[in-house]
Every structure is written in structure tokens, then in C-alpha cells.
Amino acid sequence: MSHRRAIIAGGILTALAATALGVAVLPAFGQAPTADQIVRRVAEQTNATSSIRATISIATDDSRVGGPLVAEVWTEKPGKGRAEVRQSPLSELNGTLAVSDGSTAYLYAKSKNQVIVATRAELEALAPNDRLPAQAMDLTGAVDELFKHADVKLLGSETVDGVASYKLEATPKPGTTARGGKATVWIDQARNIPIKAVLPTERGVLTVSARNVELNPKLDAALWRFTPPAGAEVIRAADLKPQPLTLDQARALSSTKVLIPESLPAGTSLVKIERIGQAVVQTYAIGTRSVTIWSGSADAAPRLAGRDVERVTVRGVAGSLREAGGTLALTWSENGFAYAITGQLTRDDALRLASVLK
């Protein structure tokens, strides 16, 4: 596993932790609140919470990762946070650490002794998956991302691990930046905190559970300090920003075998080619639609959220299709590299595009 994947996986863990912990409601006496009341009270609870400590457990439907991953998480306004991976089915993730003091974030992969250092400005320049660890430290921002761009519905009450809970469903609103399908959150009716969340991400559907939650604990300022260990490789986040490539430069890469379409459907044009880490992403426009072709290492391959998977044959090898929110993803591996075609296209369109890659 690459150090970048370890950081990203740790980042997803902390992002989900912050998102899950950010949702809380105050039930009305004798009856369940409405969805609108819950949404309004989320902001109230967020404003009333200055710090959090919790143990977060995450399971994923991605067979390449498994689960659960377990992390200890601490957050404090404004923008301070720390997440430590305590347990993982992937030994490379054990000891992964994300720390932010509000202005600078350190993302440490212990197994590789490598650190990514990012200022707030540099974090904004990173690709979405790389920004997750820092976003996780912004509790209010995480809550906003979950509810601001979604329609929230109260599904009823359920008992989760013996705890009476409210069950909420959040569906991304059309035309928003929210990705993936519906998210589901269970709220402890007695403590008014989430105890479980099922969230779609670009890397699959994750189930998050929170325990040992403390609201507004007094936290030691040492939690927000981090010094890279002796001998650690230190990488500036700005160095991870996408690097533009030409078609010839992409073909000439030795680190990644880039597959490029020999022909394009009528009305299709190349928008850009970028190198992001060791991966290469081609973006094409088909009318008003956008389609990307991803090439890179198998352990860092992207996946669209969604549980339903169709097994298909792609270029003579096994592949899979997923669809969520009108976006389709076709993924496969060949000759030691992984590939993905994603966008608003049909199953046949995706398979046809894959067949003309060379």
C-alpha cells in the first residue's frame, strides 16, 4: 500500500468520525421531532459543542480494505483536531495519525515514516480525497456538508445495539456538490448524539459507529502539536496538487501505464490530463457531461459509492460496474495497473470507451 493511500484511508476514517459526531438533536417531550426540527437543532448543538472525544469504528464494503478500522478522535474549535488509528485489518494503517492546530495539518503514515504537511491554503489546493483529514477537524464544516446540501427525512425510531434511536435519511439535492447516494444516521434518543451512520463515499459505502463519546471535555493543548519523527520523509501538500500533462507526456510515463482512447464518440473533446501523485486522470466532455479515465496503482483505485455491483468483462479481464445518483463507474485491472471510467454515461457507453483504450 502506498503512503498516500494510508493517509487517505486514515483521512476517510476521521472525516466520517467528525461527520457522525456532528449530528445531534433535542427531542420534543413525548414525541419525535420532525426532520426540519432536527436540521435546525443540528446547528444549535454544533454551536454548543466546543470539543469532542470519542472512539470511532468503521466498516467498509470495499473488500480491499475490510474492517473495522478503529480510531481515537479529539476535536476542538476552532479547527483543532487529532485522529489516531488504533486498529485496522491493514497493518499499514495502524498508527496513522492526523493532527491540526487550526492553521497547519500533519498527516503521518507510521508504516512508511512519511509526513504530509499542509497549511490551510495548501489544503484547499489538494484533491478532495487528500483534503479529508483536515476537513475532519472542522466539525461544523462536516455537519454542513452532510445536511446543507441534502434533503433530510426522519424514517422513524429503531433500536441499535440496545439503544433507542432516531433514524434519519439524507439525500443529496439535485445540482449540489454532494456526491454519492443517500446517507443514513441513527441518533441516540437519550444522549442526543449519533451512534451509527451509513455513508456513501467515492471509495464505497462505510458504516460508522461511535462509542465512549464525551462532549465538551477539557483537552490538553499537546494534542494539537506534532513533530515529524527523526528520519521521516516530509512532503509538502502543495507538491501533491495535480500536474498538467500532454498526451505525449502521459504516454511516456514509466510509473503508470496510461490508457488513452484511440477514437472518441462524436461530440467528445479532451478537457485536460493531470498527474495526481502516481495516478493520471483524463477528463473528457461529451456535450454537457463529464467523463474521466483514471489510471494508477491498484491499491489507490477510486470507486463510486453504492452497494449494487455488476460483474462484467472489460478488455478480456474481470471488472465491475457501480451506479449511484446518475453517475456510473467501471473499474478493472490489467498488467498490474488499475483503471476506472466514471461519469454520466450508460453501461454500454462505458464498456465501449474501455474497448478503444490503448
Domains detected in the chain = 3-239 (2.50.20.10), 242-355 (3.30.200.100)
Average pLDDT over residues 77-81: 85
For the segment 66-92, the average pLDDT, to the nearest whole number, is: 83
Report pLDDT for 18. 38
Residues 6+ away with beta carbon under 8 Å from 70: 55, 56, 57, 58, 85, 86, 87, 88
DSSP for 62-97, written as a single string: -TTT-S-EEEEEEEETTTEEEEEEEE-SSGGGTT-E
Whether the Cβ atoms of residue 284 and residue 269 lie closer than 8 Å to each other: yes
* Under 8 Å between Cβ of 259 and 295: yes
173 CB neighbour count, 10 Å cutoff: 12
Q: How far is Cα 29 from Cα 50, in angstroms, rounded to an integer?
A: 26
Residue 223 has pLDDT above 90, yes or no: yes
Joined together, the cell numbers standing for residue 268 give 467528445
Residues making up the chain, counted from first to last? 358
Nine-digit cell string for 11: 483521512
* 39-48 pLDDT tens trace: 777 778 777 8
Q: What mean pLDDT, rounded, does the chain reach?
A: 77
> At 141, is the pLDDT very low, low, confident or very high (cuts 50, 70, 90)?
very low
CA dihedral for 73, 9, 15, 232, sign (positive or negative) = positive
Residue type, 190: A
79-103: string of b/e by CB count within 10 Å (b at 16+)? bbbbbbbeebebebbbbbbbbbbee
pLDDT-derived band of residue 11, with 50, 70 and 90 as boundaries? very low
Band the pLDDT of 221: cuts 50, 70, 90. very high
Q: What is the pLDDT of residue 288?
A: 80
Please compute the mean of the pLDDT values over residues 241-258 and round it to a whole number.
86
Integer Cα distance of 9 and 20 in angstroms: 17
At residue 238, the pLDDT reads 72
pLDDT at 64: 55
CA separation for the pair 291, 142 (Å, rounded): 27
Of 20 and 157, more confident: 157
What percent of the chain is helix, strand and coil (3-state, nearest 5)?
Answer: 25, 40, 35
221 burial type by CB count under 10 A (0-12 exposed, 13-18 middle, 19+ buried): exposed
pLDDT at 311 over 90: no
Give the residue from 306, 311, 314 showing the smallest Cα distance to 341.
314
C-alpha cell read off for 128: 478532495
C-alpha cell read off for 218: 477539557
Model confidence, pTM: 0.64
Other C-beta atoms closer than 10 Å to the C-beta of 339 total 24
Sorting pLDDT into bands at 50, 70 and 90, what band is 203? low
